[in-house]
Amino acid sequence: MLENKTILITGGTGSLGTALTKRLLKSKVGTIRIFSRDEWKQTKMFEELDDSRLRFFIGDIRDKERLSRAVEGVDYVFHAAALKQVPIAEYNPFEAIKTNVYGTQNLVDVCLDNNVKKVVAIGTDKAASPANTYGATKLLMEKIIISANFFKGIHKTSFVCVRYGNVLGSRGSVLPRFIEQISNKGVITLTDPKMTRFTITMNGAIDLVLRALKNGNGGELFVPRLKSYTLEELKNAIIELSGKKVKIKKISLRPGEKFHETLISGDEISQTYESKEDYIIFQQSIDKISSLKKLKYKKTKLKSAYISNKNNFISKNQLKKMIREEGYF
């Protein structure tokens, strides 16, 4: 599917964009275009990967003209660009809207104008029952991407979304922060040990994105089947791996931070189907979706919202194994 194809990754120098690029370079992909705002990150990525199939575009998805130039001749787009930090979005809501909402609208327009084959947009658990600015803007991002399948007219572009929670070890996540705190001062700042999160590795996130590219026909929102963990178990796993004596400092929740993650809201259950690896949410008439017959999706067995505290939990030893596999310790 990717052989000799031209790929564009918005936000391509971020955690997911970089990891996705590395995975794609292992295939027979033709060209990968990295679209992002940070020239220093692009420089470091260029030096690290050193592959002739890479092209680097400085630009912002807010700039429709620049984005249109970057999309020319592209087969598939992975849309990962966003303002993602919850507290920053709370204090700068207008900026989050400009990037996450208006920027996505720009992307839809230029992909249709350039007849891109398929767009896979990267969502977040915070878009399900949003309780903060970031989640609200990402919910609108999902709505814009999915609804693009309705108004595309004669264009053949297909638009699909994925939705997952915090990636274990991604930039700004709790795992590297805990490890850094242990190394620097031996003190972990912890909000509440009972707080829960879905667990997904970077490789798991990339697998999901590529499944959406392969299986999505347009209009689907893919959610992976995941296990959960508590911050208490994550903290204990990291401390045991470090082999150090660590003090715990209690802090309050950050502005807009959720206590538990929600990947599928209660209102979405009636539109949710499932496969062996994923839940698939349809936001248009089921009768018009060919994916159901083609891939034999079944109506989900979920009876209520898919929430991290009402889920199967991963053990501490499994967490320790995953942390090691991510390259820590």
Distance CA 52, CA 269 (A): 45
3-state secondary structure 78-115: EECCCCCCHHHHHHCHHHHHHHHHHHHHHHHHHHHHCC
280 beta partners: 222, 273
Label the pairing between strands 306-307 and 262-264. antiparallel
Distance CA 169, CA 199 (A): 10
Select which of 84, 118, 126, 235 is catalytic: 126
- Which residues have a Cβ under 8 Å from the Cβ of 92 and sit 6 or more positions away? 83
- Which residues have a Cβ under 8 Å from the Cβ of 270 and sit 6 or more positions away? none
Which residues in 188-220 are b (16+ Cβ under 10 Å) and which e?
bebeeeebbbbbbbbebbbbbbbbbbebbebbb
Distance CA 24, CA 31 (A): 10
- Which residues have a Cβ under 8 Å from the Cβ of 260 and sit 6 or more positions away? 195, 196, 307, 308, 309
- Which residues have a Cβ under 8 Å from the Cβ of 293 and sit 6 or more positions away? none
Assess whether 126 carries a catalytic annotation: yes
Collapsed DSSP state (helix, strand, coil) of residue 307? strand
Q: Which residues are catalytic?
A: 126
